[in-house]
Amino acid sequence: MPSTSEAAALLSAGAVRTRCEIVSEAVRRRETRYFRLVPDRLDDAVRRVVDVTRRRYPDLAVPHHSRWRHFSTGGIDRAALIAPGADATETARARIDLAIISVLLDAGAGPHWRYHDVETGQILSRSEGLAVASLRAMQTGLFSADPANPWRADAEALAQITPARLARAFQHAAGNELVGFEGRASLLRQLGEECAASPSLFGAPARLGRLYDYWAGRDEPLPAAEVLRTLLHAFGAIWPGRISLAGVPLGDCGQHPAIPGDGLVPFHKLCQWLAYSLIEPLEAGGLRVVELDGLTGLAEYRNGGLFLDCGVIAPRDPGVLQRPLDALSEPVVEWRALTVTLLDHLAVLVRERLGKNAGDFPLHRVLEGGSWAAGREIALERRDGSPPLTVVSDGTLF
């Protein structure tokens, strides 16, 4: 029988990197069912990432890969709206509140949904639309239990979120459908319940932003991998229908026959995206976050789509690109595992082309510079911006 310590070991970025590499090695040996690697095509992906990075950041001063880039879409500093008049500590809490809510709602929106940001007149879609919609929802107090202070995400308010209220906030309607909005509402309710059940992390009454106080009690710098570990243990139970091991919910974790024994392959995409997105509010609040390369690249459809569209990852049967796939199915797990491993290889080659080293151009800058934007760009060239694989989303994965 597996032990809780074996299960807990999968709740780490190290486990993501190690197990994805095992799957990737099996693909290289042509022992898997769905994909093969075409190493000669990696240069095309590298070229695209370098070109996009130079275009977006000509001085190569690439910021963090985080949700905060999406809040400022269109050159508008919406982050300046958060918690007006608050001190640095309360501002950090409010920004953590927003980052957690916004990232957990940042699963694929679907190709047809749009958000009209009334205050600016912008029409936004996909990740940027979801980001701005979540910020505007918080601005109205949707997630706050204190009517006098909208810039909060309290367990009490989250536990009462309904699909109808979330649908209104995100402008979900006939002809403007947001994929998986009911699943998103359920996720927020679960989040509120888990938050209330963990006063050591979230205080009493419970609030997401109290994680700032939990981490601020340290005497030493905060490793990024420790941020992730805390998030995975805090939020592991909020996702419905996921794999558990020895009673420990594993969150974003699939199975693949290339892994001996339990067959489990963790990805933790949303929690890693959240860990990246918490660095800026934590640092603005006076904490020092270190060892950012302790996190991995993100196994989602922009990064993974870049490798598929460039031909680095090639399907054994092209039909796999045509049929809808469950997000936890074997071909999707295989694709995502390859994506994590290839991002590490891509980062080395991108740095070489840019004349940078790992110290001044860590993985998160490659992602931001970067691989995510290049994946979106090639998807727009080849299709309507949709990913090359059709993954059925419930609004809670990636």
For residue 172, give the 3-state DSSP assignment. Answer: coil
Contact (Cβ atoms closer than 8 angstroms) between residue 361 and residue 354: yes
pLDDT in tens, 174-228: 999 998 888 889 999 999 999 999 999 999 999 999 999 999 988 899 999 999 9
Q: How far apart are CA 308 and CA 321, in angstroms?
A: 10
Angle at the Cα of 180 (from 78 to 241), degrees rounded to 5?
115
Q: What is the pTM of this model?
A: 0.94
Which amino acid would we find at residue 232? L
Q: How far apart are CA 20 and CA 14, in angstroms?
A: 10
Mean pLDDT, the chain, rounded, equals: 94
Contact (Cβ atoms closer than 8 angstroms) between residue 378 and residue 305: yes
Asked whether the predicted pLDDT for residue 241 surpasses 80, the reply is no
> Which residues are paired to 35 by β-bridges?
315
Pairing of strands 253-255, 264-266: antiparallel
Q: How far apart are CA 376 and CA 202, in angstroms?
A: 36
Q: Quick one: what percent of the chain has pLDDT higher than 90?
A: 85
Asked whether the predicted pLDDT for residue 398 surpasses 70, the reply is no
Per-residue pLDDT, 315: 97
pLDDT in tens, 323-340: 999 989 999 999 999 999
What average pLDDT does the segment 271-285 reach?
96
What average pLDDT does the segment 135-153 reach?
96
HSE (side-chain half, CA atoms, 13 Å) at 14: 7
- Closest among 354, 366, 277 to 59, alpha carbons compared: 354
Asked whether the predicted pLDDT for residue 44 surpasses 80, the reply is yes
